[in-house]
Amino acid sequence: MLKVVLADDENKIILLLQKLIDWKQLGYEIVGTANDGLRALELVGQQQPHLLITDVQMPGCSGIELIRRARDLQPNLHFIIISGYRKFEYAQNALKYGVEDYLLKPLKQEELAGILLRLSDKLGEEAVLELRLKKSGEQQQELLMDALQSAAKRQQPFLDAAQADAGYGFHFAEGTYFAALVKVDVSNAAQYQDSYQIMMQHALEIVRRELSSLAAVYAAAAQKEGIAVLLQLDEYRALEVKQCFTKIRKEIEKQRDMFWYIRCTICLGGRKTCLEQAGISMREALWLCRDRLCRAQSWLDAEGEQTSFDQRYCLETAQKKRLQVAAECLDEIRFEQELEESFLTLLSQPNLNGQMVEDWFYQVLEACLYGMRQSGQVKEHFSEKLTEKFWLCTDTRSVFSLLQQDVVQELRRLEDERSLRETRPITEAKRYIQQHYRESLRLEDVSSAVGFNATYFSTLFKKETGQNFMDYLTELRINKSKELLCGDQLSVQDVAEMVGYRDLKYFSRLFKKTTGVSPSDYKKLYK
């Protein structure tokens, strides 16, 4: 049995937790309860539990402090937090200490049981078997929804009922079919990926729980576009469907412990009479999901909306070329100017829709990628990651900001790499000059040693050092000669030859021009 300690300042919450589920059936034993953080710490030290379930707001020692101190007492301890506070920082701080999950008040049996089941390596044999069966069903749903998305994007017929049964184990029958997307938009999702993934897992569990009461056969899976759903109803009852999805939306939007802002949009595809047409329904749902970028609504239904698949956007050739040139030159200021101008052109389009915004996004991205690749190696998976982030955007302005921030960041990275590429040969050239300055050294000798033609090397050397090659070499030789002249053993003739000058008069003239005194006078000054 796995040992559990419950901590909450409200006795009724502790009693509810004790009675909410059959702990023994899941392989757990409650070994202690506490009404304040200090008592909970004592129990952790005494009982050495496997799991601590605690409220965020606790007397004596706050839930966050309790988690931190309990982790010090028992490094392998698992935590679940309970919160009635819609405060972003509580959940974020808890996640830093390795909290398994969180529960919002009022507590729900299904949510707590689901969290406990996810601790699969700590459960008894019956619970593990139940979890494996559950996971197997979830994987089949994910595979089916992947196939549906693929059919929608290729605009091809979906499976028939027999193929769905044989390939995925879904027993579809006659009735009404439709696809849907439950799109959850949150603030700063890209910055808080861990929090976002936990929140999406909760959202998926809510969707599956509510759909099970609506339809005998359904599939739901979290994808980059949102939570994709496929339903088969014996008879379509609009009011029941509306009530089910409205409840899903409201339950998801309650989870504001993780983010300041959550907006859930329900996008329903059209109703179809056979499974083969489900791909069309999903395509309609995807179109509506994109269109939320232009108009924020909680309910979008293809039966009452016009899905304008043929209304597309094409970036002007001149704008595309200017974006390519700015990206190729790694000129972030010019790029931002061109991007802003292009975005304003997009916004001026009549009847702008989300599909047109996506068209603009991909065409700008393509132009930038083409330009950047002329100047260096673009970061691996840059395009794929940007595409995933597109679906985290909440409106047209956030799409613009995504391109602006990520492309500028990549331009800067490529500029840094180019600077390193240009700096490296100059460093090698300086090293070569240090080693060979005593010889009759020419620009061609140095440029050849570092692998450049003389003309390009001369330009690059001047750009990086602020001096032309001969001035740099002369300065180096004169500085070396100063060091040698300070000794008593060497004559001026000896010093001149040692720093690469065979002509004493020429050396003396250069030395005086540089230092203001002749070599012999300089030697006298430092005797």
For the chain, the structural domain boundaries read: 2-123, 131-301, 317-416, 425-525
Look at 217-231, 387-401, 477-491, 504-518 and tell me which has the smallest mean pLDDT.
477-491
pLDDT above 70 covers what percent of the chain?
Answer: 92
Cα(8)–Cα(11) distance, integer angstroms:
7
Across the beta sheet with 51-55, the strand order is 28-34, 2-7, 51-55, 78-83, 101-104
CA nearest neighbour of 481 among 449, 447, 446, 517: 517
CA nearest neighbour of 207 among 271, 256, 251, 143: 251
Mean pLDDT of 50-60: 85
pLDDT surpasses 70 at 379: yes
Count helices and strands (H / E) in the chain. Answer: 21, 10
**pTM for the complete prediction?**
0.67
Cα(515)–Cα(411) distance, integer angstroms:
44
CA nearest neighbour of 395 among 345, 367, 350, 361: 361
Question: 164-179 pLDDT, tens per residue?
Answer: 988 888 989 889 999 9
- Quick check: 57 and 13 in contact, CB under 8 A? no
**Pairing between strand 51-55 and 78-83?**
parallel
Pick the CATH number of 131-301 from 1.10.3470, 3.30.70, 1.10.1200, 3.40.50: 3.30.70
- Quick check: 351 and 329 in contact, CB under 8 A? no
Which helix or strand (DSSP H or E) is residue 177 part of? strand 176-186
Question: 316-326 pLDDT, tens per residue?
Answer: 999 999 999 99
Mean pLDDT of 380-384: 92
Q: Which amino acid is at 5?
A: V
CA nearest neighbour of 35 among 78, 5, 3: 5
Mean pLDDT of 92-102: 67
pLDDT surpasses 80 at 511: yes
Q: Read off φ and ψ for residue 199, nearest 5 degrees.
A: -60, -40
Question: 475-488 pLDDT, tens per residue?
Answer: 999 999 988 888 77
Higher per-residue pLDDT: 240 or 74: 240
- What are the Cα distances from residue 177, in Å, to 126, 231, 234? 35, 6, 9
Mean pLDDT of 407-434: 88
pLDDT confidence of residue 191: 75
User: Under CATH, which architecture does the 425-525 domain have?
Assistant: Orthogonal Bundle (1.10)
Say how many residues make up the chain.
527
Q: Which amino acid is at 199?
A: M
Mean pLDDT of 378-385: 92
pLDDT confidence of residue 361: 98
CA nearest neighbour of 234 among 219, 212, 213, 216: 216
For residue 30, the cross-strand partners are: 4
Same CATH topology for 2-123 and 131-301?
A: no
Tokens of 443: 């620009």
Question: 265-302 pLDDT, tens per residue?
Answer: 999 999 999 999 999 999 999 999 999 999 989 999 99
- What are the Cα distances from residue 502, in Å, to 355, 439, 482, 499? 76, 10, 17, 9
pLDDT confidence of residue 450: 87
Look at 34-38, 113-117, 218-222 and tell me which has the smallest mean pLDDT.
113-117
Question: 132-185 pLDDT, tens per residue?
Answer: 556 677 889 999 999 999 999 999 999 998 999 888 889 898 899 999 999 999
pLDDT confidence of residue 94: 61
Just give the CATH number of 2-123.
Answer: 3.40.50.2300
Mean pLDDT of 217-221: 94
3-class SS string, 231-253: EEECCCCHHHHHHHHHHHHHHHH
- What are the Cα distances from residue 264, in Å, to 226, 289, 358? 10, 11, 20
Q: Is 464 exposed, middle or buried (0-12, 13-18, 19+ CB in 10 A)?
A: middle
- Examine residue 106 and say whether the peptide bond preceding it is cis (omega within 30 degrees of 0): yes
Average pLDDT, the chain: 88
Binned at pLDDT 50, 70 and 90, residue 125 comes out as low
